[in-house]
Amino acid sequence: MSKPLISVRGLTKVFGDFTAVDGIDFDVAKGESFGLLGPNGAGKSTTMRILAATSTRTSGTVEILDKDPEKFGPLVRAHLGVVPQQDNLDGELTVSENLYIYGRYFGLSKKFIKAKIEELLEFAQLEEKRDVKVEALSGGMKRRLTIARGLVSEPDILLLDEPTTGLDPQARHILWDRLFRLKEQGVTLVLTTHFMDEAEQLCDRLVVMDKGAIMAEGTPQGLIKEYSSKEVLEVRFGSDRNKEVAPQLSQMCERMETLPDRILMYTEDGEKLLEQIAAAKMHPTTSLVRRSSLEDVFLRLTGRTLIE
């Protein structure tokens, strides 16, 4: 395996008496799409700001393209594209002006940027909005423009912090499609998310983070295989009865999680389990058989759900 583009060892960041990131290790290879999955407050954004060569660390080592981002900030940042959690576009300027000015910050020539803008407007599906003030764009458009802006310098690595948080489902799917194209073009992506479907769609490999630490690492399918069963049966008996029936149900499956509104039963064959429940004369008000997801992995690892 060739040398990783990003290499992190024992990374720790402390704010006052709060440890936001607590000794994490990971590598990201060239062309890989790597994810940090975890709930809000897991330390994902702090990690991203350190990878972006803007925030300082308390201890540990970080190497990006063979350089310490804390010592060679401008040199490292010259090769990164950054999409922050909160869009920080210049609302007073138009779509194309935002791209142009950002390109200038990389010292790129006018000629290069002008040609690049055409390419990026097409990529972000914003050709018709080129002369519109950014203030007037929808949330999804702003997000696509922020991603396009991050690509103006043809970065080696694109860092995306919660790329689809706050977007409606349609806007999320458009964005996923755009990011998937970048992945196909071989751009190295590092993204944080608290959406398990996003992580499954976009990440070749990911780490599950909670309270500043890495709980597990692997491919989405590998993690599911390792930490969960093939299928999950979700049953609801109504909020009062869920607790009552739980002890009896727990004997029917390998593992079970009782959430406030539903019970998750982990099994290799969901339909068969449902038949067993019916045979035991228990009648859930609703039931659903689905395959295991990263949400189940997270629940297994932390005892909590991703979105609380």
Partner 1 sequence: MNTGIDVPQIQRFGALYIASARLKSMSKWKAIIAAVDIGNPLFYLIAVGIGIGVLVEQGSGTSGTNGIKYIAFIAPALLASTAITGVMDETVFPTIEGFKWRKLFFAQNATPITGRQIAIGVYLAAICRAIFSVSIYYILLLAFNVVDFGVSALLVPVAIFGGAAFGAVILFAAAKIEKDDQFFNILGRLVIMPMFLFSGTFFPLSSMPIYLQPIGWVSPLWHATELGREAAYDYGISNVMVIVHLIFLSTLVAAGIVLAMRQFERRLAK
Residues binding partner 1 (CB under 8 A): 52, 54-56, 73-75, 77-80, 82, 84, 86, 88-93, 97, 101-102, 104-109, 112, 149, 153-156
202: phi then psi, degrees, rounded to nearest 5: -105, -20
- How does DSSP classify residue 24? E
Count other Cβ atoms within 10 Å, centred on residue 10.
Answer: 13
Give me the least distance between CB of 39 and partner 1, in Å please. Answer: 22
Give me the least distance between CB of 166 and partner 1, in Å please. Answer: 15
CA-based nearest residue to 8, from 169, 180, 213, 198: 213
By C-beta, is 78 or 246 nearer to partner 1? 78
Count other Cβ atoms within 10 Å, centred on residue 211.
Answer: 15
By C-beta, is 102 or 227 nearer to partner 1? 102
Extract the runs of DSSP E, i.e. beta strands, from 194-285.
Answer: 205-210, 213-218, 231-236, 255-258, 263-267
Q: Quick one: how many helices (H) and strands (E) in the chain?
A: 11, 13
By C-beta, is 51 or 233 nearer to partner 1? 51
Give the side-chain half-sphere CA count within 13 A for 205: 10
CA 261 to each of CA 137, 219, 242, 264, 293: distance values in angstroms, whole numbers, following the listed order = 38, 30, 8, 10, 18
Give me the least distance between CB of 56 and partner 1, in Å please. Answer: 5
Count other Cβ atoms within 10 Å, centred on residue 290.
Answer: 12
Give me the least distance between CB of 10 and partner 1, in Å please. Answer: 20
Give me the least distance between CB of 176 and partner 1, in Å please. Answer: 23
Give me the least distance between CB of 223 and partner 1, in Å please. Answer: 30
With both helix axes pointing from N to C terminus, report the angle between 139-150 and 169-184 in degrees, rounded to the nearest 10: 20
Q: Which two tokens stand for residue 234?
A: 């979700």
By C-beta, is 87 or 210 nearer to partner 1? 87
CA-based nearest residue to 97, from 69, 71, 120: 120
Give me the least distance between CB of 160 and partner 1, in Å please. Answer: 12
By C-beta, is 28 or 80 nearer to partner 1? 80
By C-beta, is 74 or 247 nearer to partner 1? 74
Max CA separation in the chain (angstroms): 74
Give me the least distance between CB of 25 and partner 1, in Å please. Answer: 23
By C-beta, is 20 or 223 nearer to partner 1? 20
Q: Which two tokens stand for residue 176?
A: 């996923």
CA 198 to each of CA 104, 109, 177, 212, 257: distance values in angstroms, whole numbers, following the listed order = 32, 36, 11, 21, 23
By C-beta, is 11 or 216 nearer to partner 1? 11
